[in-house]
């Protein structure tokens, strides 16, 4: 019972931590560290929530969650003699169902994303062309602004000829550096579980805000990597040009765009007002033109250590009897 109570408290703490991270602004000064913390909170919440249900249900075995599940699977017996046993059985079914859901959602979303990318690559093979002025980049004939990447083993960066007309050479170089950062750091994999949860639970304000927060941090992390190769001001002016362009091409499903976008296509999800997208662009522009000091390395180390301890504690509680 102690393990179940501690796991329930840990799950509650993760929800409170997520609320705090959504409101926090220190995360903008260390986006990569904040992304890792978000991942830790998400994984820990899943382990703690399912673990609390299963630990309570399997308490009669006195062997912890992992060994208790093994006992149920090997004996195929779970006696129901009174109301308490019925509640435990309900907790067992709920815990197993939630665990299966949390595993299936990213896998299903990943498969859908791969199919969407494959279809889009087939489309690009028909409509996109190579441009000598931007080697290694695919160009589509569209008068509006568009710049996005298709991550994967055969990653591609795609822009429109409207982008070529809209941006100066330095601004274009900055945008391409930003998209290359998405590809190198595999930000699509970071965003996938958050986008999957959002599609499964579109009514959840917490999940919606968490996904939006992580998406903004991903863009800031890509900006930080891009600024190593280009002028931050050129990237900022490129973002402003994209944000004020009269015509833009929506980021395809499975792609990551310059102004944001996740593998599950949140730019077209409900509850994402244009004012929020504009505020995110301005937050990124302000970071680029008025950079502030990053969080000191010792503080980042403490945050990362806390993230590891947080997740490890949930895993350990799956093994502790009682």
Average pLDDT of the segment spanning 127-155: 88
pLDDT of residue 264: 47
φ/ψ region of 167 (left if φ > 0, alpha if ψ in -120 to 50, else beta) reads beta
Q: Do residues 286 and 19 lie in contact, with contact meaning Cβ atoms separated by under 8 Å?
A: no
Listed range (33-37, 114-118, 275-279, 300-304) with the worst mean pLDDT: 275-279
Residue 78 lies in a domain: no
Residue 68 lies in a domain: no
Residue 22 lies in a domain: no
Residue 15 lies in a domain: no
Q: Do residues 218 and 35 lie in contact, with contact meaning Cβ atoms separated by under 8 Å?
A: yes
pLDDT of residue 274: 53
Residue 296 lies in a domain: no
Q: Rounded to whole angstroms, how far apart are CA atoms 259 and 144?
A: 14
Total count of domains within the chain: 1
Specify the pTM. 0.87
Q: Rounded to whole angstroms, how far apart are CA atoms 281 and 239?
A: 7
Burial of 133 (0-12, 13-18, 19+ CB in 10 A): exposed
Q: Is the pLDDT of residue 23 over 50?
A: yes
Q: Residue 138 has which token pair? A: 């695919």
Residue 176 lies in a domain: yes
Proportion of the chain above pLDDT 90, given as a percent: 58
Structural domain including 170 reads 133-291
Q: Which residue has the higher pLDDT, 273 or 201?
A: 201
Residue at token pair 């982008």: 163
Give pLDDT tens digits for 44-94: 999 999 999 999 988 877 777 888 777 777 765 656 667 777 888 889 899
Residue 166 lies in a domain: yes
Q: Is the pLDDT of residue 271 over 50?
A: no
Residue 38 lies in a domain: no
Among candidate residues 156, 155, 264, 288, the one with its CA nearest the CA of residue 214: 264
């Amino acid at each position: 019972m102690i393990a179940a109570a501690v796991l329930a408290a840990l799950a509650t703490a993760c929800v409170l931590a997520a609320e705090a991270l959504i409101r926090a602004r220190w995360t903008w000064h260390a986006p990569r560290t904040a992304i890792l913390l978000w991942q830790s909170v998400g994984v820990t919440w899943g382990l703690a929530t399912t673990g609390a249900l299963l630990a309570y249900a399997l308490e009669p075995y006195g062997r912890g969650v992992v060994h208790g599940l093994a006992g149920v699977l090997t004996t195929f017996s779970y006696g129901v003699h009174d109301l308490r046993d019925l509640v435990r059985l309900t907790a067992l079914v709920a815990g197993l169902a939630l665990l299966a859901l949390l595993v299936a959602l990213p896998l299903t979303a990943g498969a859908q994303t791969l199919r969407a990318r494959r279809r889009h690559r087939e489309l690009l093979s028909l409509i996109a062309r190579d441009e000598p002025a931007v080697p290694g980049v695919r160009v589509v004939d569209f008068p509006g602004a568009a710049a996005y990447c298709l991550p994967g083993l055969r990653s591609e960066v795609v822009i429109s000829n409207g982008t070529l007309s809209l941006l100066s050479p330095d601004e274009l170089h900055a945008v391409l550096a930003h998209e290359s950062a998405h590809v190198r750091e595999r930000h699509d994999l970071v965003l996938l579980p958050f986008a999957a949860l959002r599609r499964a639970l579109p009514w959840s304000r917490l999940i919606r805000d968490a996904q939006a927060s992580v998406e903004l941090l991903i863009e800031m992390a890509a900006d930080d990597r891009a600024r190593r190769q280009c002028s931050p001001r050129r990237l900022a002016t490129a973002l402003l040009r994209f944000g004020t362009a009269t015509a833009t091409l929506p980021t395809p499903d499975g792609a990551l765009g310059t102004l944001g976008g996740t593998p599950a296509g949140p730019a077209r999800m409900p509850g994402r007002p244009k004012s929020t997208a504009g505020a995110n662009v301005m937050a990124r522009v302000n970071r680029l033109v008025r950079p502030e000091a990053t969080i000191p390395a010792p503080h980042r180390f403490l945050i990362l250590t806390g993230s590891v301890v947080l997740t490890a504690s949930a895993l350990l509680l799956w093994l502790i009897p009682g």
